[in-house]
A and B are shown apart, each in its own frame.
Chain A
Amino acid sequence: QVQLVQSGAEVKKPGASVKVSCKASGYTFTDYYMHWVRQAPGQGLEWMGRINPNSGATTYAQKFQGRVTMTRDTSISTAYMELSRLRSDDTAVYYCAREVRGVGLDHWGQGTLVTVSS
């Protein structure tokens, strides 16, 4: 069965960087785009960007351009999202989610809480 397993919670200081991993199993990793979505406490869902695991091509939300980097390691079916120059308002749960082309985000990781605090 399809599974996306994310890395554990992180606590970071303002100005630092965080890298979240998302290990995929149960399907061919390179066949589906991987998206990253975040959710601040008590807030809605915010799309950050996506990566084509086959080519490595990325598309980022303008809000995060210059601060976010999405990569992948096809040898271990893992996608990564790195966010730099962290601020307190980056405190959120970060999700990876697989997109079925033309259908939507059909499988999600369990989420990774990133807390930014001095």
Chain B
Amino acid sequence: DIVMTQSPDSLAVSLGERATINCKSSQSVLYSSSKKNYLAWYQQNPGQPPKLLIYWASTRESGVPDRFSGSGSGTDFTLTISSLQAEDVAVYYCQQYYSTPRTFGQGTKVEIK
């Protein structure tokens, strides 16, 4: 199984400041034939299901604000919120869909400082 490890577990950022979340996979999720990383980021607000934010490690889902960006390749990935807004307070998860079992990171809680 591919193990996904996020860091930090939580972070507090001032409104308008940058938030950065890291995700590391225990093996590469780069799909050789398509040259795409099968890595997604989800946002989960309390009491709500997760929402897909980014796929292929760096492609924003339709409707996702451009302050959210993803980067990385192979085994190391980053989700960046360039200017934190109040509505961005949530738990963020990375997930690999390169192989089964699909696996998630443990989650990173983002709060306002």
Minimum CB–CB distance for A51 against chain B, Å? 12
Does B61 sit at the interface, judged by CB under 8 A?
yes
Count residues on chain A whose CB falls below 8 Å from chain B CBs. 22
**Which residues of A from 44 to 86 have beta carbons under 8 Å from B?**
44-47, 49-50, 59, 61-62
**Cα–Cα distance between A99 and B95 once the two chains are bound (Å):** 12
Count residues on chain B whose CB falls below 8 Å from chain A CBs. 25
Minimum CB–CB distance for B49 against chain A, Å? 4
Q: Is the interface of A mostly helix, strand, loop or mixed?
A: strand
**Cα–Cα distance between A5 and B102 once the two chains are bound (Å):** 22
Contact of A105 with B101 in the complex, beta carbons under 8 Å: no
**Cα–Cα distance between A100 and B12 once the two chains are bound (Å):** 33
A47-B104 contact given A99-B97, A104-B95, A105-B95, CB 8 Å threshold: yes
Does B77 sit at the interface, judged by CB under 8 A?
no
**Which residues of B from 34 to 62 have beta carbons under 8 Å from A?**
34, 36, 38, 40, 42, 44, 49-52, 55-56, 61
Q: Which residues of B contact A (CB under 8 A)?
A: 31, 34, 36, 38, 40, 42, 44, 49-52, 55-56, 61, 93, 95, 97, 100-107
Q: Which residues of A contact B (CB under 8 A)?
A: 35, 44-47, 49-50, 59, 61-62, 95, 97, 99, 102-106, 108-111
